[in-house]
A and B are shown apart, each in its own frame.
Chain A
Amino acid sequence: DAGITQSPRHKVTETGTPVTLRCHQTENHRYMYWYRQDPGHGLRLIHYSYGVKDTDKGEVSDGYSVSRSKTEDFLLTLESATSSQTSVYFCAISERQGNPYEQYFGPGTRLTVT
């Protein structure tokens, strides 16, 4: 998975609790992304980062926040988890040099909110 790790890989949490998912890369790529994957919806972009401390919203950003204090780490936080946030979350990275726009995905985190 192109030097990308996600932690935890599985998590079950209760409604209303905060949750933080971590994405770590060893490729030194500039761009990092968080997606959620749900049946019938494909992959939808939550937030992305174009550099350290530079982030922007995707199409489904409500209820999520992100932070990137180092090139290699991109954190996704659910401030107060809801059942609608039960999903599989994927982190991806890309770098403009070389093959533009090609995104490399991590192994995913399966989150269940009860």
Chain B
Amino acid sequence: QQQVKQSPQSLIVQKGGISIINCAYENTAFDYFPWYQQFPGKGPALLIAIRPDVSEKKEGRFTISFNKSAKQFSLHIMDSQPGDSATYFCAASYGNEKLTFGTGTRLTIIP
């Protein structure tokens, strides 16, 4: 049973554009929502994370938007750059150390 659904599976965005990746969850007990970035041949690395007591968190060009009532959260990458080309995973956790990951989005930024 997939508890975190991620879309789209792949995404192509022009340089300078906005990349948007969406995730939806089912378990209302989730209280921590991180996004991980993975480059080819590397392990995932934490990019940004949010807790459900805020609706938005911004770090540089990366923003998480959180909609508790809809049980959805999304990653926005502003002014997307070729160096942002990677696979992005959303995840969720509830009060413990175990993370449930989405299926991943392969992002390609074209010139």
Contacts and interface: CB of A to CB of B under 8 A. Distances in A.
B110 interface: no
Interface string B78-95: 000000000001000100
A102 B36 CA distance: 10
Interface string B12-33: 0000000000000000000010
B42 interface: yes
B54 interface: no
Contact of A102 (B9, B41, B49, B101): B49
Q: In the complex, which range does the number of interface residues on chain A fall in?
A: 20 to 34
Interface stretch (A11-19, A37-45, A70-78): A37-45
Contacts of A106: 43
A40 B97 contact: no
Interface of A: 1, 4, 31, 33, 40-45, 48, 50, 58, 90, 92, 94, 96, 100-108
